Amino acid sequence: MVSKTPTLKIAIVRNYDTPATWGQLMIDSFSNTIKSIVPGAAIETFFPITNGVFPDIDGFDLIILTGGTVNLTLPEVEPWVENTFDFIRTVSQSSSTKLMGICWGHQAICRALGGTIRFNSQGDCVGVNSLKFTDNGIEFFGKSKSGEQSREFSLHKFHKRQIDKIAPNFIELAEDREVLLSKDDKIISFQGHPEMTREVARGILDADDGAYTGELTQGQVDDLYALFELQNDGLRIFGRVLDWCSEKEPTRST
Q: In whole numbers, what is the pLDDT of the chain averaged over residues?
A: 92
Strands (DSSP E) found in the chain: 9-15, 42-46, 62-68, 98-102, 116-119, 125-132, 152-159, 161-165, 170-174, 179-182, 187-190
**pLDDT tens for each residue of 29-58:** 999 999 999 999 999 999 999 999 999 999
pTM of the entire predicted model: 0.93
Is 80 exceeded by the pLDDT of residue 183?
yes
Return the higher-pLDDT residue of 150 and 173: 173
pLDDT at 246: 85
Quote the CA–CA distance of 53 and 31 in Å, as a whole number: 20
Q: Residue 235's pLDDT band (boundaries 50, 70, 90)?
A: very high
Q: What is the rounded average pLDDT of the residues 171-197?
A: 97
Is 80 exceeded by the pLDDT of residue 149?
no
The CATH code of the domain at 9-245 is: 3.40.50.880
Return the higher-pLDDT residue of 211 and 127: 127
Q: What is the rounded average pLDDT of the residues 177-199?
A: 97
Q: What is the rounded average pLDDT of the residues 185-197?
A: 97
pLDDT at 167: 98
Among residues 50, 61, 49, 72, which one has the least CA distance to residue 6?
A: 61
Burial 121-154 (b: 16+ CB within 10 A, else e): eeebbbbbbebebbebbbbbbeebeeeeeeeebb
pLDDT at 5: 61
Of the candidate ranges 136-140, 148-152, 160-164, 196-200, the one whose mean pLDDT is the lowest = 148-152
**pLDDT tens for each residue of 109-125:** 999 999 999 999 888 89
What is the SS3 assignment for 92? helix
pLDDT at 190: 98
Is 70 exceeded by the pLDDT of residue 146?
no
Residue 162 backbone dihedrals phi, psi, to 5 degrees? -150, 170
Q: How many CA atoms lie within 13 A of 141 on its CB side?
A: 31
Q: Parallel, antiparallel, or unpaired for β 9-15 and 42-46?
A: parallel
